[in-house]
Amino acid sequence: MGNQLGKRAIWLIFIFGFITFATPVYAQAMAQVASPQIVVNLPSRTLELYKDNILVKEYQVAIGKADTPTPIGDFSILEKEVDPAWYPPGKNYVVPSGPENPLGYRWMGLGDLYGIHGTNAPWSIGLAISNGCIRMQEIDAEELFEIIDCDTPVKIEYERIKIRINASGEATIGIYPDVYNQQTVTLADVKDALQQAALDNLVDDDFLRTLIKAVPDHQVVFAQLHNLKINGSLRSEHILSREGKKYIPVLALADSLRTTVQWNAVSRTVTRQNQTVPGVKLGDKLYVTVDHVPMLFGGRENWNDEQNCLELLLPVARLDGQILSGGIQRMDNILAVPALAIANELGERVTWQSQTGELLIRGKPAPVKLISGQPFISVNDISRVYNVATDWNDQTQMLDLIYPLFPVDYSMYLDPNDEYL
């Protein structure tokens, strides 16, 4: 497929307000776009306007025909002109601004006689028909003209595969015509594109083969995705809607809580500590239904329609403001945390006897209970064993551990005749 395919950039475009799904802001707000960038993709005949690598708007355009192709590469807007005159190639006359001028009423030059401009032939938009320039509908050209400045970067690329997630959370794929006969598309290419976009294993090979053969020339929906926030932080992983159920990437939850889960391929179940629920594995990604999250992790959930986002508050223990463990459990309806995690963080001298289930702290047995073979200590016993105060906030699902509960007076160990700085 040549160098162009080797350099393929996969368009995984999240249309959101602050890295979440939201409706792109057009109309009056378009004039507020700061530091814009333009990407023109020739096979899809589209011009995309970005702000800080986030898609603001996409325009359909016309591009150069095969024998006068639009050049590929990195450019910038060098000049802007209202009511441009047209100098027909190889002719000795000038066409002034007006309805007979094929440049329309706005010109944004890229150099070497190429540019982005309006048109007096709106029917040509979407075709490979020009002498190499990029044509826009006149209303679109005038809108873009007001947004961009000279020096705005323009990238012109040749990418037949485009992967996107739109404002509604729909994951889409487009296979576009090889307008300049430069790039073939194979099943391996499409699967690689999906993998780079972290959307692999959501569709089968037959579906992809059909797309490649058909070359639909538009984006096709293949999955419904949702954003995921865990304890206020937006994750890069997505929730997947499938057959009327929402599936959540369980390893994202485990990672946020600094804990682990176990996958049983035979029973197709996921286990965390003493809880087991059904699971689904797609490729190397492990999912459980959203309904099973409370059983595995506890916590609270809230669905945010505006951001197409599930917001989870999962119980976490913090020591002096720093996350200590997400392994909070309830024993007889009393909160308990991993005893070894607290001891290690405090630098306590411990002896853990896994065979007998006995934990010694400073040589004394600690009142622990075993969950999945690991010692847990209740909040009622933490202060006595570790000299740590506890504060549980049910609203935030945070258990704060404050050390020390009782200040330690070391003066009795000091020699009064010595000087200390």
pLDDT tens per residue, range 213-223: 999 999 999 99
* Residue type (1 letter), 45: R
- Domain termination residue (choose one: 272, 290, 313): 313
C-beta of residue 297 within 8 angstroms of C-beta of residue 275: no
286 & 327 share domain: no
* Residue type (1 letter), 259: T
209 lies in some domain? no
308 & 359 share domain: no
220 lies in some domain? no
Residue 323 has a pLDDT of 83
Residue 19 has pLDDT above 60, yes or no: no
- Candidates 337, 312, 314, 340; CA nearest to 327 is 337
Could you tell me the residue range of the domain that residue 275 belongs to?
226-313
Q: pLDDT band for position 14 (50/70/90)?
A: very low
Q: Which helix (H) or strand (E) holds 211?
A: helix 205-214
Residue 236 has a pLDDT of 87
Among residues 133, 226, 238, 292, which one is catalytic?
Answer: 133
Q: Please indicate whether residue 150 is annotated as part of the active site.
A: no
Residue 412 has a pLDDT of 53
Q: Which tens digits make up the pLDDT trace of 75-109?
A: 999 999 999 999 988 889 999 999 999 999 999 99
C-beta of residue 165 within 8 angstroms of C-beta of residue 101: no
Q: pLDDT band for position 8 (50/70/90)?
A: very low
Burial of 6 (0-12, 13-18, 19+ CB in 10 A): exposed
Residue 20 has a pLDDT of 33
Residue with the larger pLDDT of the pair 289 and 29: 289
Residue 147 has pLDDT above 50, yes or no: yes
Q: Which helix (H) or strand (E) holds 389?
A: strand 389-393
350 lies in some domain? yes
Residue with the larger pLDDT of the pair 229 and 34: 229
Residue 420 has pLDDT above 50, yes or no: no
How far is the CA of 116 from the CAs of 38, 136, 147, 157, 195, in angstroms? 11, 7, 13, 15, 34
21 & 134 share domain: yes
372 lies in some domain? yes
Q: pLDDT band for position 5 (50/70/90)?
A: very low
99 lies in some domain? yes
116 & 139 share domain: yes
325 & 354 share domain: yes
331 & 271 share domain: no
CATH number of the structural domain spanning residue 350: 3.30.457
On average, the pLDDT of the chain sits at 86
Q: How far apart are CA 388 and CA 398, in angstroms?
A: 15
344 & 263 share domain: no
321 & 375 share domain: yes
80 lies in some domain? yes
Q: Structure tokens of 74?
A: 């990195």
Q: Please indicate whether residue 238 is annotated as part of the active site.
A: no
Q: pLDDT band for position 22 (50/70/90)?
A: very low
Q: pLDDT band for position 374 (50/70/90)?
A: confident
How many CA within 13 A on the CB side of residue 29?
8
122 & 30 share domain: yes
Among residues 117, 226, 238, 292, which one is catalytic?
Answer: 117
Q: Which tens digits make up the pLDDT trace of 104-137?
A: 999 999 988 899 999 999 999 999 999 999 999 9
181 lies in some domain? no
Q: pLDDT band for position 25 (50/70/90)?
A: very low
Where is mean pLDDT largest: 37-41, 310-314, 358-362, 364-368?
37-41
56 & 124 share domain: yes
286 & 351 share domain: no
Asked if the bond preceding 404 is cis, omega within 30° of 0, the reply is yes
305 & 344 share domain: no
Number of domains in the chain: 3
356 lies in some domain? yes
Q: Which tens digits make up the pLDDT trace of 198-245?
A: 888 888 899 999 999 999 999 999 999 999 999 889 998 999 998 889
